[in-house]
Amino acid sequence: MSLVGTRGLTAFYGDAQALFGIDFGLDEGEVVAIIGANGAGKSTFLKSLTGLVKVHRDAVHFDGEPIGGLPPGEIVKKGLAMVPEGRRLFPSLTVEENLKMGAFAGRSGPWTLQRLHGMFPILEQKRHEPGTALSGGQQQMVAIGRALMSNPKVLLCDELSLGLAPIVIKEIYDALPAITAEGMSVVIVEQDVSVAQRVSRRVYCFQEGRVSLEGKSDELTREQISAAYFGV
Amino acid sequence: MARAEVLRSTRASRAALWIGLALVAFAASMPLWAESSWMRDFVEIACYFIFAMMWNLLAGYGGMVSIGQQAFFGFGGYVMLMLGNFAGFNPFVAVPVAALAAALVAVPVSWVAFRLQGGYFAIGTWVIAEVFRLGFANLSFVGGGSGTSLTALRGIDKATRESTTFWMALACVVASVALVYLFLRSKQGLALLAIRDNEVAAESQGIAVAKMKLAVYVVAAFGAGLAGALYFVGNLRISPDAAFSVNWTAFAIFMVVIGGIGRIEGPLVGALVFFLLNKFFSDFGTWYLLGLGLLAIVVTIFFKQGLWGYAQQRWGWTLFPTQRRLVVKD
Amino acid sequence: MLETLIQGLLLGGLYCLFALGLSLMFGVMRLTNTAQGDFIVLAAFGAIALASLVAAHPSLVALALLPIAFAAGYALQRWVLNGTLGKDPLPSLVVTFGLSIVIQNALLEVFSADPRSLESGGLATQSLALPGGFAVGVLPLLIFGAALACTFALQQLFERTALGRAFRAVSDDREIAELMGLDARKVYALATAIAFVVIALAGVFQAMRTTVSPSDGPLLLLFAFEAVIIGGMGSFWGTFVGAMVLGLTQQIGFRLDPGWGIWFGHLVFLAVLVVRPQGLFPKTRG
CATH of the domain at A147: 3.40.50.300
Query: Please, are residues C27 and C157 in contact by the beta-carbon 8 Å criterion?
Result: no
According to the model, what pLDDT value does residue B124 have? 93
Greater confidence (C14 vs B281) lies with C14
Nearest CB among C90, C95, C101 relative to B65 is that of: C90
- Does the beta-carbon distance from A101 to C169 stay under 8 Å? yes
C259/C167 Cα distance (integer angstroms): 41
- Please tell me if residue B126 touches chain C, with a CB cutoff of 8 Å: yes
Q: Is 0.90 exceeded by the ipTM?
A: no
According to the model, what pLDDT value does residue C285 have? 42
C166/C190 Cα distance (integer angstroms): 11
- Which of the residues in chain A have pLDDT under 70? 232
- Please tell me if residue B122 touches chain C, with a CB cutoff of 8 Å: yes
Which residues in chain C have Cβ-Cβ distances shorter than 8 Å to B131?
Answer: 263, 266-267, 270
Domain count, chain C: 1
> From the CB coordinates, do chains B and A have 3 or more pairs under 8 Å?
no
- The answer to whether position C128 is within a domain reads no
CA nearest C271 in B: which residue?
B112
List chains adjacent to chain B, taking adjacency as at least 3 C-beta pairs closer than 8 Å: C
List chains adjacent to chain C, taking adjacency as at least 3 C-beta pairs closer than 8 Å: A, B
pLDDT band (50, 70, 90) for residue C24: very high
Query: Please, are residues B69 and B252 in contact by the beta-carbon 8 Å criterion?
Result: yes
C36/C19 Cα distance (integer angstroms): 9
According to the model, what pLDDT value does residue B5 have? 54
According to the model, what pLDDT value does residue C105 have? 94
According to the model, what pLDDT value does residue A223 have? 82
- Whole-number mean pLDDT of chain B? 83
- Please tell me if residue B59 touches chain C, with a CB cutoff of 8 Å: yes
Instruction: Give domain limits for chain B.
Output: 35-239, 246-316
Q: Any idea which of B86-90, B283-287, C250-254 has the lowest mean pLDDT?
A: B283-287
The tens digit of pLDDT for each residue in C196-229 reads: 999 999 999 999 989 999 999 999 999 999 999 9
According to the model, what pLDDT value does residue B20 have? 76
Nearest CB among A77, A92, A106 relative to C172 is that of: A92
- Does the beta-carbon distance from C168 to A93 stay under 8 Å? yes
- Does the beta-carbon distance from A92 to C177 stay under 8 Å? no
- Please tell me if residue A179 touches chain C, with a CB cutoff of 8 Å: no
C257 backbone dihedrals φ, ψ, rounded to 5°: -165, 130
How far is CA C154 from each of CA C11, C17, C23, C264, rounded to the nearest angstrom? 20, 12, 11, 29
C186/C199 Cα distance (integer angstroms): 20
Which residues in chain C have Cβ-Cβ distances shorter than 8 Å to A100?
Answer: 162, 165
Domain count, chain A: 1
Q: Compute the average pLDDT of residues B246-267.
A: 82
Helices and strands in chain C, H and E counts: 11, 2
Q: Which domain holds residue C240?
A: 2-109+136-275
